[in-house]
Amino acid sequence: MDRKAALLGGVLAIAGLSSPAQAAATFVWTCNIEGAPARLTARVEAISPAGVYMDPQGFFAGSIASGEVNFYYGGSLVSASARYSFTGQNQYADFVDLQSNARFRVQMIVQGRSLVMVVNPFGPGPVRYACQLAS
C-alpha cells in the first residue's frame, strides 16, 4: 500500500472502517479559511482494482488483487461567505465556487486527524489551509 492509501486508510480506520480497500465513509472537517471557520464534508470511497482472468471458454475464472487502492470523493466546503462543491480522486480535488462558478484544483493531504488543503498546488501562488477532523 502506498503513502496516499496509508494516509486516507488511517482516516477511514478512525471512522471505524477496517478495510480501506472496500470502504466508504463521510467525514466532516472544521477548517480555518483565512481566519474564518468553514465546514468541509466529504464522502470518501476506497476502491481496490483487480485483474480478471477468463477460462479457455471465455467465462470468468477469477480475479487477482492489484494491491493498489484508489480513493474517490466528493462533497462541499461551506463558510459564512462562500460555498464550494468538489469531486476528486486520490490526493487532488476540483473545486467549484457555487456563487461565481470559478474552478480551481486543491491538493488534499491527510496527516492523522488533520487535513491540509493546498489551493492551486501547481501555481499560481499555492495557499495552504488547515482542517481538523470533526466527525
pLDDT at 22: 58
- pTM score, two decimals? 0.73
Grid coordinates representing 87? Answer: 469531486
Contact, 97 vs 81, CB < 8 A? no
Tens digits of residue pLDDT in 53-87: 888 998 888 888 878 889 999 999 999 999 999 99
* Nearest alpha carbon to residue 21 among 44, 39, 54: 44
3-state SS assignment for residue 49? coil
pLDDT at 120 over 90: yes
Tens digits of residue pLDDT in 84-115: 999 999 999 999 999 999 999 999 999 999 99
Tens digits of residue pLDDT in 43-55: 999 888 878 888 8
Grid coordinates representing 81? Answer: 461567505
90-98 contacts, C-beta under 8 A, 24 or more apart: 90/4, 91/4, 92/121, 95/119
pLDDT at 14 over 70: no
